[in-house]
Amino acid sequence: MSLRFKTVIGVALIEALLLALLIVTVMSYQRTSAEEALLKRATTTATLFATTTKDPLLSLDLASLDAFSRELMTNPDLLYVRVLAEDGQVYSEAGAVELLNRTFSEDLHLDDVTDGVFDASATIQEGGIAYGHVELGFDTGSIQNIIAETRNNGIGIAVIEMGLVALFSLMLGTYLTRQLEVLRSSAKQISTGDYTGQIPITSKDEIAEVASAFNRMSQALLESQQTRDKYEEDLRELNHTLEERVERRTAKINTQIAELQNANRKIEETQAKLIQSEKLASVGQLAAGVAHEINNPIGFVRSNLATLDDYINVYQTLIDNYRSMNSLQGEALEARRQEIASIEKSEDLDYINEDIKDLLKDCRDGTSRVKDIVSGLRDFSHMGGKGRDLCDLNACISSTLKIVVNGLKKKCDVITDLQDIPMIIANQGEVNQILMNLLVNAGQAIDESGSIGVSTSVKDNMALVTVSDTGSGIDPANIEKLFDPFFTTKPVGEGTGLGLAISYGIIQDHGGDIDVKSELGVGTTFTISLPLPDEQDNELPIAA
């Protein structure tokens, strides 16, 4: 088989394989993208329609349900829509009759569609209670047509490109084989020991450069032959000592590697202990704040319960007296009535009746406060593993403030200015950790009294969180060192110097940045910027 034929066949096979792989990849990507777009559209439409029809369904406003159904049918590729109660009763429907009369079976993937209709549904619920659901059908014909058209176009382009590549390979192979024949002839001449042959150079392409190099090689071979014997002798001498030197060098390198591994392991262990110390310090601050916040309402709830216990004893005494009246007559009955009247007067029963209501209300308020604190702690500590999801920055700020506000309110006022901003894609627990670090640092920077400001805004497709304080400020010489691991201006034993370093690493990992401005005796402002998701990828809700 000639080189020219090998070139044509080889290039054609490689091209065919690459084109086939490209077509398969493009088709797979397009089908996946189409399926994701269809699933997102179906889920979003069903959820929004369920939300829209919730109030009419709860109030049985059938006219509004029909109007919403007809309006939804104006969407392209939507074949039918139906609103049902939880018991299966149909309240409203619109679209193709034959599709509405068939048995509904929800589709989860595009491959599940066998009738050209992608069926989706959503539950209509209020307060966690399902009152009904909506069913919708989307036409998948346009998606299938696009996929088929793309496949056909890809195959056609592949066939044309393979033909052109084959023609070019044939021409290239012919030219190369003609030039290689000259090189082969000269190589045979050199193989016989004749180094005087020279290849004529008639072009200025890479083949000419090879020929020129070949000529230089033949000249160099003659010179090399003369020095080869000398080199061989030198190599034989070096071989005697090379193995010993290699062994010594290898042993030294292995020793150095072991020392480096041991030092690196010790550094990692030290870093892990310091990071754990920082986490434990945060947990201690959380525990102190939560304990104080919970003890306050629990204290007056216990006090109220003690008073309620005394009131219950009064009621039990009266009830016992009332029950005993059934077995008394005459003077004994009258004496018992007077005794009851005396108890009611001495205990001030009217006051007890009114006070019980206030005591019970205070107890309910206290337990609600404890519930809110526990709920805030749960929201704050929700780490979500390593994964990221839609994150409400305003909610993160609120939950973090619930945890640290007890330690802040003793000496400073917390002023919030939370704007309506889109949600971001982030790890909520890590965001809470950053916010807590900045708020605690701001509180520690204030000696006796001052204020802390927390605000959110949007600028240049970035969500901004600003934490400012009226504390002592930071020395300009220390600004550049703030985010260095283990750097701290706090006294020994009061800080690890890892808080801001860890926060900086989390922000960088989220694709954001942090900026600090400070003036001694005036205060400090930290500004966190985190990227907003692309609007084309998510229908983003607005943060509360």
CA dist 347 to 163, 340, 451, Å? 108, 11, 49
Range with top average pLDDT, 174-183, 256-265, 525-534: 525-534
pLDDT of residue 81: 94
Is residue 485's pLDDT more than 90? no
Is residue 193's pLDDT more than 80? no
Mean predicted confidence (pLDDT) in 154-175 = 74
Average pLDDT, the chain: 80
Domain residue spans of the chain: 3-161, 289-376, 386-531
pLDDT tens per residue, range 401-456: 877 776 777 778 899 999 999 999 998 888 888 898 899 888 888 888 899 999 99
Mean predicted confidence (pLDDT) in 267-285 = 59
pLDDT of residue 113: 84
For the packed helices 393-408 and 428-445, what is the interaxial angle rounded to 10 degrees? 30
pLDDT of residue 80: 92
CATH of domain 386-531: 3.30.565.10
3-state secondary structure 466-504: EEEECCCCCCHHHHCCCCCCCCCCCCCCCCCCCHHHHHH
Is residue 109's pLDDT more than 70? yes
Mean predicted confidence (pLDDT) in 158-171 = 74
Radius of gyration of the chain (CA): 41
* Contact indicator for 113, 133 with CB cutoff of 8 Å: no
pLDDT of residue 7: 66
Among 154-163, 200-209, 387-396, which is the least confidently predicted range?
200-209
> 88: helix, coil or strand?
coil
Sign of CA dihedral 167, 171, 174, 176: negative
pLDDT tens per residue, range 375-400: 656 655 554 455 788 999 999 998 88
Distance between CA 281 and CA 399 in Å, rounded?
19
CATH topology of domain 3-161: Beta-Lactamase (3.30.450)
* Contact indicator for 474, 430 with CB cutoff of 8 Å: no
Mean predicted confidence (pLDDT) in 56-83 = 89
> What pTM was computed for the model?
0.40
pLDDT of residue 278: 56
Confidence of residue 158 (pLDDT cuts 50, 70, 90): confident
pLDDT tens per residue, range 328-349: 788 888 888 888 888 878 877 8
Mean predicted confidence (pLDDT) in 168-190 = 70
Q: How many CA atoms lie within 13 A of 396 on its CB side?
A: 27
Mean predicted confidence (pLDDT) in 76-87 = 89
Number of helical (H) and strand (E) elements in the chain, helices listed first: 11, 11
pLDDT of residue 535: 64
Among 56-60, 390-394, 460-464, which is the least confidently predicted range?
56-60
Is residue 38's pLDDT more than 50? yes
For the packed helices 206-324 and 393-408, what is the interaxial angle rounded to 10 degrees? 60
Mean predicted confidence (pLDDT) in 523-532 = 94
Is residue 459's pLDDT more than 70? yes
pLDDT of residue 468: 95
pLDDT of residue 164: 77
Mean predicted confidence (pLDDT) in 276-300 = 61
End-to-end CA distance of the chain: 74
For the packed helices 349-380 and 206-324, what is the interaxial angle rounded to 10 degrees? 170
Among 66-75, 226-235, 330-339, which is the least confidently predicted range?
226-235
Confidence of residue 372 (pLDDT cuts 50, 70, 90): low
Give every CB contact of residue 6 below 8 A, 6+ residues apart in sequence: 173
pLDDT of residue 541: 54
Among 25-34, 140-149, 211-220, 409-418, which is the least confidently predicted range?
211-220
pLDDT of residue 496: 57
pLDDT of residue 425: 93
Please state whether beta strands 78-85 and 129-139 pair in parallel, antiparallel, or not at all (unpaired).
antiparallel
Tokens, residue 428: 């909520």
pLDDT of residue 384: 45
pLDDT of residue 234: 75
- Token look-up 């506000």 returns 405
Sign of CA dihedral 360, 366, 367, 368: positive
Mean predicted confidence (pLDDT) in 523-529 = 95
Percent over 70 (pLDDT), the chain: 81
